[in-house]
């Protein structure tokens, strides 16, 4: 059996790029206006998986759960060298917390079948929880290496992996029998650029949603099945799975399957009652320092 | 509907007492003080869960900081942290005793096992909370007693979200070091030690630690009386050097916002904010930091705050005591000169 690695990827709003019309007048963020990007640590995870493939052969499958437009990120996975990409998308997954997300991901992984390794970013930049990786591992009943910095060795005969992971003020090297789920930090690997030939081929790869909208525009001249069949035959179909496809229990998905609920959100009112504007002048700064010395803040 | 199985036992608030190499992580002790307040509101005891090998010496400090009970799981195989034995043993204990609240430090270890415990027990888990409260809420005419309000800044903007887990019995949260204040230890406090037998299958201990390298921490921002912190406005090594220069003159520690850490200008362990360290120094000087809520959450309880920013609208001025609008390359040298002149 060749090595099979599954990489969990997520498309996220670019929270490092908040500007202009992204902020609403009331101070909240308009998520829809943020550019969607490939979660950086997931990209590092994909790179590590591709390096193992370069070294040991095998197949890399990229899996995401997200809205239909997450297909853009899956195409990028193909451009980088993923062999298979899968979009798990269904309105009934909406508002999932980490538990409902990991439930859906583990059902999708079970539907994929056998695997040796699972990689994912340590955390996604839109929530920073770092919970989905370990929760998915738990549901699959496998162990995990979190904060992975480097894969040191893969022994396909003994079926073991050795990797380096960050711990407080240092690192440790762990060895485990396969399979293992590894969550990867950003510094672990710099993602490779897109392969131009793959880009030319796979920019035409489409999800079921994209094919459906194309069919809808054709005014019934063609059927969904016809186009799907053609795309499959050309190797340009991006597998698109819903709740039924992965045999998931609806009550465990989305909002219904999420134990954590947002009770309320509040804008923060800044007090600033004792605020003093200090002019950037020698006198202004001297006065401020004098006050701080009097208050025994300095010294 | 929720079944509170052990409501008569009143052992409902737990803290994972993280230790490594025979030393307790401070965050666990900080959480015990918070747990004490939460438990008092619920009329419950506080329990600490301690895993390790030959860690008896760590029990008394847990009592001093607020634990009534210590669940002790001692085994050779638990000497060093590994995900599966630690997560499985905590899971088993949680499943058996069914506490209502379990708190973990948001450390490399806490963030590794808390999700597994929550996943197996189908508990609510909220990461990086900045405040916790216990309240009884009536939702859709149903009363939910002893809900853990898990409060944290939410995605972008000036928003604080309150997360609850009303439909499940066990409510979990991770909290960064320094967020909860370390109270005073009461050395006369004593409690009960509950020995929990440890049984592990070979498969649970199949992961081997081949090597472990850990340096003593040289950074302790929590103890620093003065902190000079730089952010996105100090986006070049040259500008950040000015921040370090100022810190040197003031005898202060250097810190950074997340933007500064992401840009590689400063080490991650010097990050102040929701996903870094929470600090309460005598003086905090924020330079080129706009003051997103995630940053303010980690420094707004400083005794005095000076903000230097070229944007007069920057939210950091909203929590500052002194605000200086200007270019850091101009203001820092002025500030250094003014400080030196006042010393003489």
Q: Distances from the Cα of A33 to the Cαs of A20, A24, A64, B127, in angstroms? A: 10, 10, 21, 26
Tens of pLDDT, residues A125-165: 888 899 999 999 999 999 999 999 999 999 999 999 999 99
Top residue of B338, B340, B343, B344 to mutate, by most chain A CBs within 10 Å, is: B338
| Contact flag B334-A282 (C-beta cutoff 8 Å) | yes
| Contact flag B164-A263 (C-beta cutoff 8 Å) | yes
pLDDT at B15 over 70: yes
Tens of pLDDT, residues A282-297: 899 999 999 999 888 8
Please spell the DSSP secondary structure of B2-71, one letter per residue: ---TTTTTT--EEEE--EETTEE-HHHHHHHHHHHHHHHHHT--EEEEEEESS-GGGHHHHHHTT-SEEE
Architecture per CATH, domain A4-257, reads as 3-Layer(aba) Sandwich (3.40)
User: Which of B163, B211, B338 minimises the CB distance to A261?
Assistant: B163
Chain B residues lying within 8 Å of A171, measured CB to CB: 212-213
Spatial separation of the C-alpha atoms in residues B265 and B259, rounded to whole Å? 9
Both structure tokens of A123: 């955390």
Distance in Å, alpha carbon of B190 to nearest chain A alpha carbon? 31
In chain A, domain spans? 4-257
CATH number of the domain located at residue range(s) B221-342 in this protein: 3.40.50.1220
User: Which of A139, A280, A293 minimises the CB distance to B326?
Assistant: A280
Tens of pLDDT, residues A224-270: 899 999 999 999 999 999 999 999 999 999 999 999 999 998 877 66
* Position with higher pLDDT, A221 vs A73: A73
pLDDT mean over A202-206? 97
Lowest mean pLDDT among A35-39, B205-209, B285-289: A35-39
pLDDT at B2 over 50: no
pLDDT at B1 over 50: no
pLDDT at B210 over 50: yes
Chain B residues lying within 8 Å of A292, measured CB to CB: 283, 304
> Looking at the complex, does the CB of residue A2 fall below 8 Å from at least one CB of chain B?
no
Both structure tokens of A257: 């399957």
> Looking at the complex, does the CB of residue A19 fall below 8 Å from at least one CB of chain B?
no
pLDDT at B120 over 90: yes
Spatial separation of the C-alpha atoms in residues B43 and B319, rounded to whole Å? 36
Chain B residues lying within 8 Å of A285, measured CB to CB: 324, 334-335, 338
Tens of pLDDT, residues A77-136: 999 999 999 999 999 999 999 999 999 999 999 999 999 999 999 999 888 899 999 999
> Looking at the complex, does the CB of residue A99 fall below 8 Å from at least one CB of chain B?
yes
Chain A residues lying within 8 Å of B154, measured CB to CB: 262, 265
pLDDT mean over A41-66? 97
Residues in Cβ contact with B200 at an 8 Å cutoff, skipping those fewer than 6 apart: B75, B77, B85, B88, B89
**Assessment of whether the complete model's pTM goes beyond 0.95:** no
Chain mean pLDDT for chain A: 92
Tokens 């950091």 identify what position? B316
Chain A residues lying within 8 Å of B320, measured CB to CB: 272, 275
| Contact flag B124-A259 (C-beta cutoff 8 Å) | yes
Which pLDDT belongs to residue A16?
65
Which pLDDT belongs to residue B6?
47
Both structure tokens of B61: 């400090």
Judge contact between A173 and A35, C-beta under 8 A: no
In chain B, domain spans? 9-205, 221-342
pLDDT mean over B288-294? 91
| Contact flag A172-B211 (C-beta cutoff 8 Å) | yes
| Contact flag B112-A297 (C-beta cutoff 8 Å) | no
pLDDT at B181 over 50: yes
Which pLDDT belongs to residue B4?
47
Query: What is the percent of chain B where pLDDT is above 70?
Result: 96
Which pLDDT belongs to residue B101?
98
| Contact flag B115-A128 (C-beta cutoff 8 Å) | no
**Residue in chain B lying closest to A147 (CA):** B108
Chain A residues lying within 8 Å of B167, measured CB to CB: 259
pLDDT mean over A159-188? 96
Please check whether the two domains, B9-205 and B221-342, share a CATH topology. yes
pLDDT at A46 over 60: yes
Which pLDDT belongs to residue A34?
78
Please count the CA atoms within 13 angstroms of the CA of A288 that sit on its side-chain side. 28
Which pLDDT belongs to residue B284?
97
Top residue of A285, A287, A290, A295 to mutate, by most chain B CBs within 10 Å, is: A285
Taking Cα atoms as reference points, which of A30, A33, A28, A35 lies closest to residue A12?
A35
pLDDT at A272 over 60: no
| Contact flag B324-A280 (C-beta cutoff 8 Å) | yes
pLDDT at B272 over 60: yes
Distance in Å, alpha carbon of B307 to nearest chain A alpha carbon? 10
Judge contact between B306 and B316, C-beta under 8 A: no
Chain A residues lying within 8 Å of B250, measured CB to CB: 298
Spatial separation of the C-alpha atoms in residues B321 and B260, rounded to whole Å? 23
User: Which of B20, B155, B293 minimises the CB distance to A15?
Assistant: B155
Tens of pLDDT, residues B61-78: 999 999 999 999 999 999
Q: What are phi and psi of B290, to 5 degrees?
A: -70, -35
Q: Using CB atoms and an 8 Å cut-off, which of residues 71-90 of chain A contact chain B?
A: none
Element (H, E) at A228: helix A224-233
User: Which of A146, A260, A293 minimises the CB distance to B165?
Assistant: A260
Distance in Å, alpha carbon of B270 to nearest chain A alpha carbon? 12
Chain A residues lying within 8 Å of B123, measured CB to CB: 259
| Contact flag B283-A23 (C-beta cutoff 8 Å) | no
| Contact flag B165-A261 (C-beta cutoff 8 Å) | yes
Query: What is the percent of chain B where pLDDT is above 90?
Result: 85
Nearest 10 degrees: Cα torsion B70, B75, B81, B87: -70
CB atoms within 10 A of CB B193: 15
pLDDT at B37 over 60: yes
**Residue in chain A lying closest to B19 (CA):** A168
Chain mean pLDDT for chain B: 93
| Contact flag B112-A27 (C-beta cutoff 8 Å) | no
Class (C level, CATH) for B9-205 = alpha beta
Chain B residues lying within 8 Å of A298, measured CB to CB: 226, 250, 283, 339
pLDDT mean over A25-51? 83
Spatial separation of the C-alpha atoms in residues A155 and A204, rounded to whole Å? 37
Taking the alpha carbons at both ends of chain B, their separation in whole angstroms is: 70
pLDDT at B157 over 80: no
pLDDT at B5 over 80: no
Q: Distances from the Cα of A258 to the Cαs of A94, A246, B64, in angstroms? A: 10, 18, 37
pLDDT mean over B12-21? 96
| Contact flag A292-B304 (C-beta cutoff 8 Å) | yes
| Contact flag B210-A168 (C-beta cutoff 8 Å) | no
| Contact flag A260-B207 (C-beta cutoff 8 Å) | no
Top residue of A151, A168, A175, A291 to mutate, by most chain B CBs within 10 Å, is: A168
Q: What are phi and psi of B177, to 5 degrees?
A: -60, 135
Taking the alpha carbons at both ends of chain A, their separation in whole angstroms is: 68
pLDDT mean over B317-325? 94
Distance in Å, alpha carbon of A201 to nearest chain B alpha carbon? 34
**Residue in chain B lying closest to A132 (CA):** B115
Q: What are phi and psi of B55, to 5 degrees?
A: -115, 25
């Amino acid at each position: 059996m060749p090595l099979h690695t599954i990489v969990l990827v997520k498309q996220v709003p670019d929270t490092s790029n908040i500007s202009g019309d992204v902020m609403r007048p009331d101070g909240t963020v308009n998520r829809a206006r943020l550019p969607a990007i490939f979660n950086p640590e997931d990209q590092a995870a994909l790179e590590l998986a591709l390096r193992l493939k370069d070294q040991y052969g095998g197949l890399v499958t990229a899996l995401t759960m997200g809205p239909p437009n997450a297909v853009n990120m899956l195409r990028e996975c193909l451009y980088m060298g993923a062999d298979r990409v899968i979009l798990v998308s269904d309105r009934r997954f909406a508002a999932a917390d980490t538990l409902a997300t990991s439930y859906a991901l583990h059902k999708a992984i079970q539907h994929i079948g056998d695997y040796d390794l699972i990689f994912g970013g340590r955390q996604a930049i839109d929530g920073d929880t770092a919970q989905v990786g370990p929760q998915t591992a738990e549901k699959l009943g496998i162990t995990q290496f979190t904060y992975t910095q480097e894969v040191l060795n893969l022994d396909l005969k003994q079926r073991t992996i050795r990797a380096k992971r960050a711990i407080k003020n240092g690192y440790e090297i762990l060895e485990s029998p396969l399979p293992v789920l590894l969550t990867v930090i950003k510094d672990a690997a710099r993602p490779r650029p897109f392969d131009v030939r793959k880009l030319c081929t796979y920019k035409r790869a489409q999800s079921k949603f994209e094919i459906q909208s194309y069919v809808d525009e054709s005014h019934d001249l063609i059927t969904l099945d016809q186009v799907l069949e053609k795309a499959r035959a050309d190797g340009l179909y991006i597998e698109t799975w819903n709740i039924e496809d992965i045999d998931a229990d609806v009550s465990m998905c989305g909002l219904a399957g999420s134990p954590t609920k947002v009770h309320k959100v509040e804008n923060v009112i800044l007090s600033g009652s004792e605020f003093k504007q200090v002019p950037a002048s020698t006198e202004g700064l001297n006065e401020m320092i004098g006050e701080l010395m009097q208050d025994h803040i300095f010294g | 509907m929720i079944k509170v199985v052990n409501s008569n036992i009143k052992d409902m608030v737990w803290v994972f007492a993280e230790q490594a190499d025979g030393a307790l992580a401070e965050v666990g002790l900080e959480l015990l003080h918070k747990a004490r307040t939460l438990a008092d509101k619920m009329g419950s005891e506080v329990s600490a869960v301690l895993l390790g090998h030959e860690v008896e010496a760590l029990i008394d400090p847990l009592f001093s900081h607020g634990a009534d009970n210590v669940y002790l799981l001692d085994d050779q195989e638990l000497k060093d942290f590994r995900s599966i034995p630690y997560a499985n043993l905590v899971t088993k204990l949680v499943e058996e005793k069914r506490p209502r609240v379990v708190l973990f430090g948001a450390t490399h270890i806490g963030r590794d096992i808390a999700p597994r415990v929550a996943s197996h027990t189908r508990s609510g888990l909220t990461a990086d909370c900045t405040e916790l409260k216990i309240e009884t809420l009536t939702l859709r005419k149903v009363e939910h007693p002893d809900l853990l309000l898990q409060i944290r800044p939410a995605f972008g903007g000036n928003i604080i979200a309150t997360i609850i887990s009303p439909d499940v019995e066990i409510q979990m949260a991770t909290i960064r070091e320094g967020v909860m204040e370390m109270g005073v230890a009461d050395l006369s406090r004593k409690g009960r030690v509950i020995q929990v037998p440890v049984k592990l299958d070979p498969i649970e201990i199949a992961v081997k630690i081949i090597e472990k390298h850990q340096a003593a921490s040289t950074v302790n921002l929590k103890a620093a009386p003065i902190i000079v912190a730089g952010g996105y406005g100090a986006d070049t090594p040259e500008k950040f050097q000015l921040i370090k220069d100022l810190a040197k003159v003031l005898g202060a520690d250097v810190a950074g916002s997340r933007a500064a850490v992401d840009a590689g200008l400063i080490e991650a362990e010097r990050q102040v904010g929701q996903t870094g360290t929470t600090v309460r120094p005598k003086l905090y000087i924020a330079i080129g930091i706009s003051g997103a809520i995630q940053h303010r959450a980690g420094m707004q309880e400083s005794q005095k705050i000076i903000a230097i920013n070229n944007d007069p609208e920057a939210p950091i001025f909203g929590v500052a005591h002194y605000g200086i609008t200007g270019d850091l390359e101009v203001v820092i040298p002025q500030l250094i000169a003014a400080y030196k002149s006042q010393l003489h």
